[in-house]
């Protein structure tokens, strides 16, 4: 088993620290590592929250073995869910010298399913006194590079790869909204900037495991995604969504062979 190792992590993200040393903890590095993470480590519901384990044991979201998780998710490149990838990326950022903390949010689906505000896990990173929203663990479609948080919660737009994003104050929280080139504004998730500890996800973990216990492996939701140079590819059940240069295209996959081939392409990084 490959235990957690910063150099191994950086190599997965395309940085040869043996030759160049560790990258500086600046905004340029943060942007590059964020995008590379989403391109090289896929979101995969397999073995994470969305799929019960073959043994039927509860899914561990809070007190998991980081070395074993790193081996499967990063070193082997199999990917994982939001909690696994966010916790590992937070550790990497701190190793590199960033000031970074966990924060929490909730998706529309999470609110409907669980009714909690500590569901999705994100990172708040500070660079030169400015706060940035970091999220490498959301299946999408969503932002591929960090979004500026300070001075940007008044709805002003931030543009990435043809898509527009805005952060809108909502009581004690913030709404993240997204608009593709040819579409309307829609909610991605709601979050707060309150610093959290991993143990605060225990309540969500307990609720999720109750739900998972009622599902078979065949009926559990399947969710996979990977970033590409100018966007993202998402497979949710049989719904295939591509985002390229800001243009969303969605279709339903009927045949099992095509479905499995697309899933394997997302997980294997062989997307055209």
Which helix (H) or strand (E) segment is 44 a member of?
A: strand 43-44
Strand order in the sheet with 247-252: 43-44, 223-228, 231-236, 239-244, 247-252
Is residue 82 annotated as part of the catalytic site, yes or no? yes
Whole-number Å distance between alpha carbons of 267 and 226: 8
Whole-number Å distance between alpha carbons of 90 and 121: 11
Which residue is catalytic, options 135, 163, 240, 248? 135
Which residue is catalytic, options 82, 101, 117, 248? 82
What distances in angstroms separate CA 259 from CA 12, 118, 123, one per listed residue?
Answer: 27, 32, 32
Own/partner contacts of 167-175, CB < 8 Å, gap of 24 or more, are 167/133, 173/105, 173/117, 174/149
Is residue 120 annotated as part of the catalytic site, yes or no? yes
Is residue 26 annotated as part of the catalytic site, yes or no? no
Report whether 208 contacts 62 (CB < 8 A).
no
At which residue do the structure tokens 């529309």 appear? 108
Which residue is catalytic, options 120, 163, 240, 248? 120
Catalytic residues: 82, 120, 135
């Amino acid at each position: 088993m490959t235990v957690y190792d910063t150099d191994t992590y950086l190599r997965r993200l395309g940085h040869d620290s043996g030759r160049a040393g560790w990258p500086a903890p600046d905004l340029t590095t943060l942007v590059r590592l964020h995008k590379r993470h989403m391109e090289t480590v896929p979101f995969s519901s397999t073995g994470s929250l969305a799929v019960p384990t073959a043994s039927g044991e509860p899914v561990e979201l809070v007190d998991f073995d980081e070395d074993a998780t790193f081996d499967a998710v990063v070193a082997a490149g199999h990917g994982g869910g939001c909690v696994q990838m966010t916790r590992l990326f937070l550790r990497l950022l701190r190793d590199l010298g960033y000031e970074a903390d966990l924060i929490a949010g909730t998706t529309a689906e999470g609110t409907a399913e669980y009714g909690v505000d500590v569901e999705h896990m994100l990172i708040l990173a500070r660079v030169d006194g400015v706060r940035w929203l970091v999220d490498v663990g959301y299946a999408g479609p969503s932002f591929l590079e960090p979004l500026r948080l300070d001075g940007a919660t008044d709805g002003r737009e931030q543009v990435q790869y043809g898509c527009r994003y805005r952060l809108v104050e909502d009581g004690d929280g913030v709404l993240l909204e997204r608009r593709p080139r040819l579409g309307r504004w829609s909610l991605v998730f709601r979050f707060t900037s309150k610093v959290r500890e991993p143990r605060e996800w225990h309540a969500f973990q307990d609720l999720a495991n109750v739900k998972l216990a009622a599902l078979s492996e065949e009926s559990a939701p399947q969710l996979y995604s990977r970033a590409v140079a100018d966007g993202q590819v998402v497979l949710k059940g049989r719904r295939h969504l591509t985002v390229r240069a800001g243009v969303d295209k969605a279709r339903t996959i009927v045949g099992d062979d095509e479905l499995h081939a697309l899933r394997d392409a997302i997980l294997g990084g062989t997307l055209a």
